[in-house]
Protein backbone atom coordinates (compact mmCIF):
# COMPACT_ATOMS: atom_id res chain seq x y z
CA UNK A 1 0.00 0.00 0.00
CA UNK A 2 2.76 2.30 -0.97
CA UNK A 3 0.61 5.21 -2.14
CA UNK A 4 -1.23 5.71 1.13
CA UNK A 5 0.33 6.59 4.46
CA UNK A 6 -0.86 3.69 6.56
CA UNK A 7 0.49 5.28 9.68
CA UNK A 8 -3.19 6.08 9.98
CA UNK A 9 -5.43 3.21 9.14
CA UNK A 10 -8.00 5.17 6.88
CA UNK A 11 -9.40 7.28 3.54
CA UNK A 12 -12.35 9.56 1.72
CA UNK A 13 -16.22 9.43 2.13
CA UNK A 14 -19.99 10.19 1.48
CA UNK A 15 -21.92 12.19 4.08
CA UNK A 16 -22.50 10.24 7.29
CA UNK A 17 -25.97 10.85 8.63
CA UNK A 18 -25.66 8.92 11.89
CA UNK A 19 -23.80 6.14 13.60
CA UNK A 20 -25.47 2.79 13.05
CA UNK A 21 -24.53 -0.83 13.43
CA UNK A 22 -26.08 -1.54 10.04
CA UNK A 23 -24.17 -0.99 6.83
CA UNK A 24 -26.54 0.34 4.19
CA UNK A 25 -26.70 2.65 1.20
CA UNK A 26 -27.33 5.58 3.58
CA UNK A 27 -23.62 5.45 4.46
CA UNK A 28 -22.59 7.35 1.36
CA UNK A 29 -19.04 8.54 1.48
CA UNK A 30 -18.07 9.62 -1.99
CA UNK A 31 -21.16 11.77 -2.58
CA UNK A 32 -19.77 14.71 -0.61
CA UNK A 33 -16.38 14.15 -2.18
CA UNK A 34 -17.71 14.85 -5.67
CA UNK A 35 -20.85 16.99 -5.44
CA UNK A 36 -21.22 18.66 -2.06
CA UNK A 37 -18.82 20.62 0.12
CA UNK A 38 -16.97 18.14 2.31
CA UNK A 39 -18.17 18.47 5.87
CA UNK A 40 -15.25 18.02 8.22
CA UNK A 41 -15.78 17.41 11.90
CA UNK A 42 -14.05 20.19 13.75
CA UNK A 43 -11.70 18.70 16.27
CA UNK A 44 -10.37 21.34 18.61
CA UNK A 45 -7.03 20.27 19.97
CA UNK A 46 -6.53 21.02 23.65
CA UNK A 47 -4.40 24.09 24.13
CA UNK A 48 -1.09 23.58 25.77
CA UNK A 49 -1.23 24.93 29.30
CA UNK A 50 0.32 28.37 29.62
CA UNK A 51 2.78 29.06 32.43
CA UNK A 52 1.88 32.09 34.45
CA UNK A 53 4.38 33.78 36.72
CA UNK A 54 2.57 36.63 38.44
CA UNK A 55 4.95 37.49 41.28
CA UNK A 56 7.84 39.77 41.99
CA UNK A 57 9.69 38.51 38.89
CA UNK A 58 10.39 41.11 36.25
CA UNK A 59 9.21 40.54 32.69
CA UNK A 60 12.77 39.66 31.78
CA UNK A 61 13.03 37.04 34.49
CA UNK A 62 9.64 35.60 33.53
CA UNK A 63 10.67 35.17 29.90
CA UNK A 64 13.92 33.53 30.97
CA UNK A 65 12.04 31.05 33.13
CA UNK A 66 9.55 30.33 30.35
CA UNK A 67 12.40 29.66 27.93
CA UNK A 68 14.06 27.34 30.45
CA UNK A 69 10.85 25.39 31.01
CA UNK A 70 10.22 25.21 27.27
CA UNK A 71 13.73 23.91 26.65
CA UNK A 72 13.27 21.32 29.38
CA UNK A 73 9.94 20.19 27.91
CA UNK A 74 11.49 19.89 24.45
CA UNK A 75 14.39 17.91 25.91
CA UNK A 76 12.00 15.54 27.70
CA UNK A 77 9.96 15.15 24.51
CA UNK A 78 13.07 14.13 22.59
CA UNK A 79 13.94 11.58 25.26
CA UNK A 80 10.52 9.89 25.10
CA UNK A 81 10.67 6.65 23.13
CA UNK A 82 8.75 6.95 19.87
CA UNK A 83 6.00 4.44 19.16
CA UNK A 84 7.23 1.88 16.64
CA UNK A 85 4.21 0.91 14.57
CA UNK A 86 6.02 -1.76 12.58
CA UNK A 87 7.33 -3.36 15.73
CA UNK A 88 3.87 -3.29 17.26
CA UNK A 89 2.43 -5.06 14.21
CA UNK A 90 5.20 -7.66 14.22
CA UNK A 91 4.79 -8.42 17.92
CA UNK A 92 1.00 -8.63 17.81
CA UNK A 93 1.07 -10.69 14.61
CA UNK A 94 3.53 -13.08 16.23
CA UNK A 95 1.19 -13.52 19.20
CA UNK A 96 -1.79 -14.08 16.90
CA UNK A 97 0.12 -16.60 14.77
CA UNK A 98 1.11 -18.60 17.84
CA UNK A 99 -2.46 -18.56 19.15
CA UNK A 100 -3.79 -19.69 15.75
CA UNK A 101 -1.27 -22.51 15.59
CA UNK A 102 -2.33 -23.67 19.05
CA UNK A 103 -6.04 -23.34 18.32
CA UNK A 104 -6.09 -25.31 15.05
CA UNK A 105 -3.79 -28.26 15.62
CA UNK A 106 -3.03 -31.03 13.14
CA UNK A 107 -5.27 -33.91 14.19
CA UNK A 108 -7.77 -36.34 12.75
CA UNK A 109 -9.32 -36.08 10.25
CA UNK A 110 -5.83 -35.18 9.10
CA UNK A 111 -6.69 -33.90 5.61
CA UNK A 112 -9.25 -31.30 6.69
CA UNK A 113 -7.06 -29.92 9.46
CA UNK A 114 -4.09 -29.79 7.10
CA UNK A 115 -6.18 -27.77 4.63
CA UNK A 116 -7.41 -25.44 7.39
CA UNK A 117 -3.89 -24.82 8.64
CA UNK A 118 -2.50 -24.41 5.12
CA UNK A 119 -4.48 -21.24 4.53
CA UNK A 120 -4.79 -20.07 8.12
CA UNK A 121 -1.04 -20.11 8.74
CA UNK A 122 0.01 -18.98 5.27
CA UNK A 123 1.06 -15.56 6.50
CA UNK A 124 -0.59 -12.23 5.92
CA UNK A 125 -0.53 -8.94 7.78
CA UNK A 126 -3.12 -10.04 10.41
CA UNK A 127 -4.68 -6.58 10.21
CA UNK A 128 -8.11 -7.68 11.47
CA UNK A 129 -6.99 -9.56 14.57
CA UNK A 130 -4.48 -6.83 15.44
CA UNK A 131 -7.22 -4.20 15.11
CA UNK A 132 -9.39 -6.31 17.42
CA UNK A 133 -6.66 -6.42 20.06
CA UNK A 134 -5.83 -2.72 19.64
CA UNK A 135 -9.50 -1.73 20.06
CA UNK A 136 -9.71 -3.84 23.19
CA UNK A 137 -6.64 -2.13 24.63
CA UNK A 138 -7.93 1.34 23.71
CA UNK A 139 -10.97 0.94 25.98
CA UNK A 140 -8.99 -0.55 28.85
CA UNK A 141 -8.75 -4.26 28.04
CA UNK A 142 -5.66 -6.31 27.32
CA UNK A 143 -4.35 -8.64 24.64
CA UNK A 144 -5.32 -11.86 26.41
CA UNK A 145 -8.92 -10.68 26.71
CA UNK A 146 -9.24 -10.24 22.95
CA UNK A 147 -6.98 -13.03 21.69
CA UNK A 148 -9.65 -15.72 21.25
CA UNK A 149 -11.82 -13.26 19.35
CA UNK A 150 -8.85 -12.08 17.28
CA UNK A 151 -8.13 -15.66 16.25
CA UNK A 152 -11.80 -16.26 15.44
CA UNK A 153 -11.83 -13.20 13.21
CA UNK A 154 -8.76 -14.42 11.33
CA UNK A 155 -10.38 -17.84 10.89
CA UNK A 156 -13.44 -16.19 9.37
CA UNK A 157 -11.30 -13.97 7.15
CA UNK A 158 -9.35 -17.03 5.97
CA UNK A 159 -12.62 -18.83 5.24
CA UNK A 160 -13.71 -15.91 3.06
CA UNK A 161 -10.41 -16.04 1.14
CA UNK A 162 -10.62 -19.80 0.55
CA UNK A 163 -14.18 -19.52 -0.75
CA UNK A 164 -13.46 -16.34 -2.71
CA UNK A 165 -10.65 -18.08 -4.59
CA UNK A 166 -12.83 -21.01 -5.74
CA UNK A 167 -13.52 -21.46 -9.48
CA UNK A 168 -17.20 -20.66 -8.90
CA UNK A 169 -16.23 -17.30 -7.36
CA UNK A 170 -13.04 -15.43 -8.38
CA UNK A 171 -11.23 -18.53 -9.69
CA UNK A 172 -7.84 -17.47 -8.36
CA UNK A 173 -4.68 -19.58 -8.38
CA UNK A 174 -2.55 -17.53 -5.99
CA UNK A 175 -3.07 -16.29 -2.44
CA UNK A 176 -0.43 -14.83 -0.13
CA UNK A 177 2.22 -15.92 -2.59
CA UNK A 178 1.17 -19.58 -2.50
CA UNK A 179 -1.19 -21.77 -4.57
CA UNK A 180 -4.77 -21.32 -3.39
CA UNK A 181 -6.36 -23.94 -1.16
CA UNK A 182 -8.39 -25.65 -3.87
CA UNK A 183 -5.30 -25.92 -6.08
CA UNK A 184 -3.56 -27.93 -3.35
CA UNK A 185 -6.39 -29.92 -1.75
CA UNK A 186 -9.13 -29.86 -4.41
CA UNK A 187 -12.37 -27.91 -4.51
CA UNK A 188 -14.30 -30.27 -2.24
CA UNK A 189 -11.78 -30.12 0.61
CA UNK A 190 -11.34 -26.36 0.14
CA UNK A 191 -15.07 -25.78 0.58
CA UNK A 192 -15.10 -27.94 3.70
CA UNK A 193 -11.97 -26.29 5.11
CA UNK A 194 -13.69 -22.92 4.84
CA UNK A 195 -16.84 -24.31 6.43
CA UNK A 196 -14.84 -25.83 9.28
CA UNK A 197 -12.98 -22.59 9.96
CA UNK A 198 -16.26 -20.67 10.07
CA UNK A 199 -17.84 -23.10 12.51
CA UNK A 200 -14.79 -23.33 14.74
CA UNK A 201 -14.43 -19.53 14.85
CA UNK A 202 -17.67 -19.19 16.79
CA UNK A 203 -16.87 -22.15 19.01
CA UNK A 204 -13.47 -20.67 19.81
CA UNK A 205 -14.68 -17.19 20.78
CA UNK A 206 -17.48 -18.71 22.87
CA UNK A 207 -15.43 -21.19 24.89
CA UNK A 208 -11.95 -19.63 24.94
CA UNK A 209 -12.70 -16.02 25.88
CA UNK A 210 -11.93 -15.51 29.56
CA UNK A 211 -12.35 -12.67 32.03
CA UNK A 212 -15.35 -11.23 30.20
CA UNK A 213 -19.01 -11.29 31.22
CA UNK A 214 -21.33 -13.67 29.31
CA UNK A 215 -23.38 -10.67 28.15
CA UNK A 216 -20.39 -9.07 26.46
CA UNK A 217 -19.31 -12.36 24.87
CA UNK A 218 -22.80 -12.84 23.45
CA UNK A 219 -22.80 -9.25 22.20
CA UNK A 220 -19.43 -9.79 20.50
CA UNK A 221 -20.61 -13.02 18.86
CA UNK A 222 -23.72 -11.23 17.58
CA UNK A 223 -21.63 -8.45 16.05
CA UNK A 224 -19.28 -10.93 14.42
CA UNK A 225 -22.13 -12.98 12.96
CA UNK A 226 -23.83 -9.85 11.59
CA UNK A 227 -20.62 -8.68 9.94
CA UNK A 228 -20.37 -11.78 7.74
CA UNK A 229 -24.04 -12.55 7.01
CA UNK A 230 -26.60 -10.99 4.71
CA UNK A 231 -26.06 -7.60 6.36
CA UNK A 232 -22.31 -7.86 5.89
CA UNK A 233 -19.81 -9.83 3.85
CA UNK A 234 -22.32 -12.10 2.10
CA UNK A 235 -24.42 -9.11 1.00
CA UNK A 236 -21.38 -7.48 -0.55
CA UNK A 237 -20.34 -10.70 -2.29
CA UNK A 238 -23.78 -11.26 -3.80
CA UNK A 239 -24.13 -7.73 -5.16
CA UNK A 240 -20.54 -7.92 -6.46
CA UNK A 241 -21.26 -11.17 -8.33
CA UNK A 242 -24.49 -9.83 -9.79
CA UNK A 243 -22.72 -6.65 -10.93
CA UNK A 244 -20.06 -8.33 -13.05
CA UNK A 245 -20.23 -7.23 -16.68
CA UNK A 246 -22.85 -4.54 -16.03
CA UNK A 247 -22.10 -1.06 -17.33
CA UNK A 248 -24.48 0.94 -15.13
CA UNK A 249 -22.73 0.39 -11.81
CA UNK A 250 -22.19 3.75 -10.14
CA UNK A 251 -20.34 4.91 -7.05
CA UNK A 252 -23.27 4.30 -4.73
CA UNK A 253 -23.55 0.61 -5.60
CA UNK A 254 -19.76 0.21 -5.61
CA UNK A 255 -19.65 1.68 -2.12
CA UNK A 256 -22.39 -0.68 -0.96
CA UNK A 257 -20.40 -3.64 -2.25
CA UNK A 258 -17.20 -2.67 -0.47
CA UNK A 259 -18.77 -1.47 2.77
CA UNK A 260 -20.26 -4.95 3.07
CA UNK A 261 -17.74 -7.19 1.34
CA UNK A 262 -14.61 -5.65 2.87
CA UNK A 263 -15.37 -3.04 5.52
CA UNK A 264 -17.95 -5.08 7.44
CA UNK A 265 -15.49 -7.61 8.84
CA UNK A 266 -12.95 -4.89 9.67
CA UNK A 267 -15.72 -3.04 11.46
CA UNK A 268 -16.73 -6.20 13.26
CA UNK A 269 -13.12 -6.79 14.32
CA UNK A 270 -12.84 -3.40 15.99
CA UNK A 271 -16.30 -3.47 17.56
CA UNK A 272 -15.79 -6.97 18.97
CA UNK A 273 -12.50 -5.88 20.53
CA UNK A 274 -14.11 -2.79 22.03
CA UNK A 275 -17.02 -4.77 23.48
CA UNK A 276 -14.79 -7.41 25.05
CA UNK A 277 -12.47 -4.71 26.41
CA UNK A 278 -15.32 -3.15 28.36
CA UNK A 279 -16.01 -0.14 26.15
CA UNK A 280 -19.14 1.93 26.78
CA UNK A 281 -21.69 2.45 24.00
CA UNK A 282 -20.23 5.81 22.97
CA UNK A 283 -16.72 4.39 22.71
CA UNK A 284 -17.92 1.36 20.75
CA UNK A 285 -19.82 3.50 18.25
CA UNK A 286 -16.94 5.92 17.67
CA UNK A 287 -14.62 2.98 17.04
CA UNK A 288 -17.27 1.45 14.76
CA UNK A 289 -17.22 4.51 12.52
CA UNK A 290 -13.43 4.63 12.62
CA UNK A 291 -13.31 1.02 11.40
CA UNK A 292 -15.93 1.61 8.72
CA UNK A 293 -13.83 4.36 7.18
CA UNK A 294 -10.74 2.17 7.43
CA UNK A 295 -12.49 -0.78 5.81
CA UNK A 296 -13.54 1.24 2.79
CA UNK A 297 -10.08 2.74 2.53
CA UNK A 298 -8.55 -0.71 2.44
CA UNK A 299 -10.70 -1.63 -0.54
CA UNK A 300 -9.90 1.57 -2.42
CA UNK A 301 -6.22 0.88 -1.83
CA UNK A 302 -6.66 -2.73 -2.93
CA UNK A 303 -8.38 -1.62 -6.14
CA UNK A 304 -5.50 0.68 -7.00
CA UNK A 305 -2.84 -1.90 -6.18
CA UNK A 306 -4.62 -4.42 -8.39
CA UNK A 307 -3.85 -2.28 -11.44
CA UNK A 308 -0.51 -0.81 -10.39
CA UNK A 309 1.37 -3.76 -8.86
CA UNK A 310 2.52 -7.15 -10.11
CA UNK A 311 1.32 -10.54 -8.89
CA UNK A 312 4.71 -11.05 -7.24
CA UNK A 313 4.43 -7.79 -5.33
CA UNK A 314 0.84 -8.46 -4.27
CA UNK A 315 1.19 -12.14 -3.43
CA UNK A 316 -2.00 -12.75 -5.43
CA UNK A 317 -3.08 -12.50 -9.04
CA UNK A 318 -2.87 -8.90 -10.25
CA UNK A 319 -5.34 -7.40 -12.72
CA UNK A 320 -8.05 -9.98 -12.02
CA UNK A 321 -10.72 -7.29 -11.54
CA UNK A 322 -9.94 -5.93 -14.99
CA UNK A 323 -10.16 -9.39 -16.53
CA UNK A 324 -13.48 -10.06 -14.78
CA UNK A 325 -14.75 -6.66 -15.97
CA UNK A 326 -15.54 -5.61 -12.41
CA UNK A 327 -16.30 -2.02 -11.51
CA UNK A 328 -13.58 -0.60 -9.27
CA UNK A 329 -12.71 2.81 -7.89
CA UNK A 330 -9.87 3.34 -10.40
CA UNK A 331 -12.25 2.38 -13.21
CA UNK A 332 -14.82 4.97 -12.13
CA UNK A 333 -12.55 7.68 -10.74
CA UNK A 334 -9.10 7.08 -12.10
CA UNK A 335 -6.04 6.29 -10.01
CA UNK A 336 -5.32 9.85 -8.87
CA UNK A 337 -8.86 10.51 -7.58
CA UNK A 338 -8.94 7.07 -5.97
CA UNK A 339 -5.77 7.91 -4.07
CA UNK A 340 -7.29 11.22 -2.96
CA UNK A 341 -10.41 9.39 -1.84
CA UNK A 342 -8.31 6.96 0.21
CA UNK A 343 -6.45 9.81 1.88
CA UNK A 344 -9.67 11.58 2.85
CA UNK A 345 -11.10 8.37 4.31
CA UNK A 346 -7.95 8.18 6.38
CA UNK A 347 -8.49 11.67 7.76
CA UNK A 348 -12.15 11.01 8.47
CA UNK A 349 -11.30 7.86 10.38
CA UNK A 350 -8.77 9.65 12.55
CA UNK A 351 -11.37 12.20 13.57
CA UNK A 352 -13.35 9.42 15.21
CA UNK A 353 -10.49 8.81 17.64
CA UNK A 354 -10.81 12.14 19.44
CA UNK A 355 -11.62 11.79 23.11
CA UNK A 356 -9.76 8.52 23.66
CA UNK A 357 -6.67 8.14 25.83
CA UNK A 358 -3.91 9.56 23.59
CA UNK A 359 -1.46 6.92 24.78
CA UNK A 360 -3.74 3.92 24.30
CA UNK A 361 -4.99 5.11 20.93
CA UNK A 362 -1.48 5.32 19.44
CA UNK A 363 -1.49 1.85 17.77
CA UNK A 364 -4.56 2.72 15.68
CA UNK A 365 -3.87 6.43 15.27
CA UNK A 366 -0.23 6.20 14.23
* Domains of the chain, each with CATH number or no CATH: 85-364 (1.10.600.10)
Pick from 208, 226, 209, 207: which is nearest to 271 by CA? 226
Rounded CA separation 147/135 (Å): 12
Q: Give the tens place of pLDDT for each residue, 305-350.
A: 988 877 666 666 666 666 566 788 998 999 999 999 999 999 999 9
Mean per-residue pLDDT for 76-95?
A: 78
pLDDT score for 365: 61
Model confidence at 4, in pLDDT bands (50, 70, 90)? very low
pLDDT of 195 over the 90 cut: yes
pLDDT score for 66: 44
For CA atoms 7, 9, 13, 17, the dihedral sign is: negative
Contact criterion met (CB below 8 Å) for 276 and 212: yes
What share of the chain has pLDDT > 70, as a percent? 73
Higher pLDDT, 72 or 150: 150
Query: What single DSSP character describes residue 260?
Result: I
HSE of 208, CA atoms in CB hemisphere, 13 A: 19
Q: For residue 271, is it left (φ>0), alpha (ψ between -120 and 50) or beta?
A: alpha
Model confidence at 44, in pLDDT bands (50, 70, 90)? very low
pLDDT of 69 over the 70 cut: no
pLDDT score for 246: 79
Higher pLDDT, 126 or 35: 126
Q: Give the tens place of pLDDT for each residue, 250-304.
A: 899 999 999 999 999 999 999 999 999 999 999 999 999 999 999 999 999 989 9
Rounded CA separation 94/126 (Å): 9
At residue 174, the 3 state secondary structure works out as: strand
pLDDT score for 247: 78
Pick from 2, 26, 29: which is nearest to 329 by CA? 29
pLDDT score for 309: 74
Mean per-residue pLDDT for 140-167?
A: 97
pLDDT of 48 over the 80 cut: no
13-27, 139-153, 322-336: lowest mean pLDDT where? 13-27
Per the prediction, the chain carries an average pLDDT of 80
Q: Give the tens place of pLDDT for each residue, 111-134.
A: 999 999 999 999 888 999 999 999
Contact criterion met (CB below 8 Å) for 327 and 289: no
Q: What are the Cα distances from residue 245, in Å, to 241, 242, 322, 326?
A: 9, 9, 11, 7
11-25, 195-209, 296-310, 311-325: lowest mean pLDDT where? 11-25
Amino acid sequence: MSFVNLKTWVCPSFMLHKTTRFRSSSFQIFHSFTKLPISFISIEKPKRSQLSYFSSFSISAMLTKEDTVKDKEEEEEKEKPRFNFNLYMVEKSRSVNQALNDAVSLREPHKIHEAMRYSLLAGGKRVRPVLCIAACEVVGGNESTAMAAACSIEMIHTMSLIHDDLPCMDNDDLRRGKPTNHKVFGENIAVLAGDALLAFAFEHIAVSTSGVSPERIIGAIGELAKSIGTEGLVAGQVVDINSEGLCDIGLEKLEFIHLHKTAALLEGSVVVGAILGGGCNEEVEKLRMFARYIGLMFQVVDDVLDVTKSSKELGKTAGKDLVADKVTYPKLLGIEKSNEFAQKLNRDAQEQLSGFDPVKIVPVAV
